[in-house]
Amino acid sequence: MTTSRFIEQLSGAPSLHGLFEDVGSLHHGRTRLDLDGFRFDPTRKLSLYVFNLVDDDGAHVGQYHFAPGAPEVVGEIGNAGGYVEAAYRDRGHSKEAVKALGELAQRHGMDSFIITCPKDNAAARKALDQVGVEMTNRGGELCFYDIPASKSN
């Protein structure tokens, strides 16, 4: 799960791009996603949220992004992605972050969203297997997971 390094600052008010300006933080378990800002992916022509992943002790442990929209809108990378710093892996942060993103997906009227991770990232795949369903018939370097837009799992 990676955040694109080719994103730009979003021009204009986030609401003009279909994003909610009052998001602030999303929570699940001991993990919090603090809104870092709004960005624009010029390759996919998508507006997105960028969140800092924070542990309950206040430590910055990673980053996630979320782009609302149907699969045909978000393209081959999906709606969401991110990372957890090496020192904080295998502590459930990915699983909790993805569940927290479900709240935002629901707010955007989505029943589910797609998140990707590299095929060789066993820890991320384990976390995603616990909250979603791996989608088959996809090639390449990424695994795709369909995640319910609910954080109650």
| Helix or strand holding residue 39 (H, E) | strand 31-41
Q: Is residue 79 part of a domain?
A: yes
115-131 pLDDT, tens digit per residue, is: 988 888 888 888 899 99
Q: Note the pTM of the prediction, 2 decimals.
A: 0.87
Domain region containing 124: 8-148
Q: How many domains does the chain have?
A: 1
In the prediction, which pLDDT does 8 show? 86
| Phi and psi, residue 98, nearest 5° | -65, -40
What's 128's domain CATH number? 3.40.630.30
In the prediction, which pLDDT does 12 show? 87
Q: Is residue 153 part of a domain?
A: no
* Buried-state track 95-112, b at ≥16 Cβ within 10 A, e below 16: bbbbbbbbbbbbebebeb
Both tokens of residue 121? 């990232």
Q: Is residue 1 part of a domain?
A: no
Q: Is residue 140 part of a domain?
A: yes
Q: Is residue 2 part of a domain?
A: no
51-102 pLDDT, tens digit per residue, is: 999 998 999 999 999 999 887 777 777 899 899 998 998 888 999 999 999 9
Both tokens of residue 103? 């709240």
